[in-house]
Amino acid sequence: MSQPSQPRQPTVEWQVCGICNYDCSYCIQSRETRQGHPSPAEVERFLAFFRGLPGRWEIKMTGGEPFAFRGFMERIVPGLIAETPHTLSVLTNLSAPLPVLLRFAALTQGRLGIVSASLHLEHTSADDFLGRAVPLRAALDPAARMVVNEVLVPGRLGEVAAARRAVEAAGLRWFPQVMKVGPGVFDYQGGDVAAVRQLTGAAPTPRQANLAPSYRGRMCWTGVEYFVLTQTGEAWSCRTARRFREGFLGNVLTGAVTLRSAPEPCRYDICPCTVPANRGMIEGIGAGGAGVSAGGGGGGGAVETLP
C-alpha cells in the first residue's frame, strides 16, 4: 500500500452548534439544521470525550457559526485549552465583535492551528470583513495560519475577484471554493466558466482551491485518524459518508465512539472538504494534489471548509 504524500495529522471536524447569524442563499445546510446548540451538560460530555482522545489531535471547530454560540467562548475554547493537549482550529464568518475575536487569539496562543475565515458578501463588505481580519491576524499566535475563504457564487464573480484583490492587498491568503449544490458542484455556464478558472487556477492543489474532487479508489484514513463530529454527538468517518448514512462511528453523548483500525478505499465521487486531503488522509494526495478529478454528479455532502 502506498503512503500519503505528507504526514497524517489526526483531525476532528466538530460542528459545535447549528445556529448561524447569516442566511446565505448558497448555504448547503438547510435552515432547519442551522439552529440549536449543546446544553451545558452536553458541552461537558464533549470535553470529557476530548480529554480521553489519545494523542494530540487537531480539533477544527465549525458550525453554524461557532462564535454565535455563547458556550463556545465561555466554556469550549477555555476548556479545550486547559484540559486537553489538542490543537484548536476554527471555521468562522468573522462576524463576532473584534474584542471577542481578540480574546480568542489570546486564549489560543501556542495552541492554534488555523483560522478559516469565510467572506460572505451577501452579509458584509470586504472592507468591513478586513476591519476584523487584519487586527485578528496580527493578534494570533505567530505560528498559526489564517486563510480567507470565499465561495465562487455564480453571477457575482466580478465582486469575488474584487474581494480577492482587497484580501491579498491586506497581506492575507485567499482561498476559492466552487459552489456546492445538492449531490455535487454547481455547473457554471457562459463567462463564469472562464472566471472560475481564472480564480482557481488551471490545476490547483487542495491547498490552493476547493474543487470538490473525486478520490474514488484511493486508500483513505478517514474514520481512523479523521472523523466528523456533530452537535448532537454523532461521529462519522467523513462528510460524504454521513450524507449516505454510512461510516457511523458512535455517539459521544449517548455511548462510545469506535474508530476504524485501518484505511479503506474511498468509494465516493466527491470530497467536498479539503481538510482530509490537506491532513494527509488521502493516499498520494498532499501538497502536490496530483491525480485528482473534479467532483460532479456522483453524490456527496457539501460544506464549506478550508485547508
Residues 6+ apart with CB under 8 A from 175: 116, 147, 148, 149, 150, 208, 209, 210, 306, 307
pLDDT confidence of 300, banded at 50, 70, 90? very low
Averaged pLDDT, 285-289? 57
- 103 belongs to a structural domain: yes
Cβ atoms of 83 and 51 closer than 8 Å: yes
- 284 belongs to a structural domain: no
- 281 belongs to a structural domain: no
- 273 belongs to a structural domain: no
Question: Could you give the number of structural domains in the chain?
Answer: 1
Q: Which amino acid is at 170?
A: A
- The better pLDDT of the pair 3, 95 is held by 95
What are the pLDDT digits (tens) for 194-242?
A: 999 999 998 899 999 999 999 999 999 999 999 999 999 999 999 999 9
Q: What is the mean pLDDT of the chain?
A: 89
- 268 belongs to a structural domain: no
- 217 belongs to a structural domain: no
Place of cell 461557532: 66
Q: Among residues 25, 280, 23, 306, which one has the least CA distance to residue 176?
A: 306
Q: Which amino acid is at 98?
A: L
- 179 belongs to a structural domain: yes
Strands 226-229 and 11-15: parallel
Domain holding 159, by residue range, is 11-203+222-262
Return the pLDDT at 276: 94
CATH number at residue 170: 3.20.20.70
Return the pLDDT at 5: 52
- 188 belongs to a structural domain: yes
Burial class, 141, CB count within 10 angstroms (exposed 0-12 / middle 13-18 / buried 19+):
middle
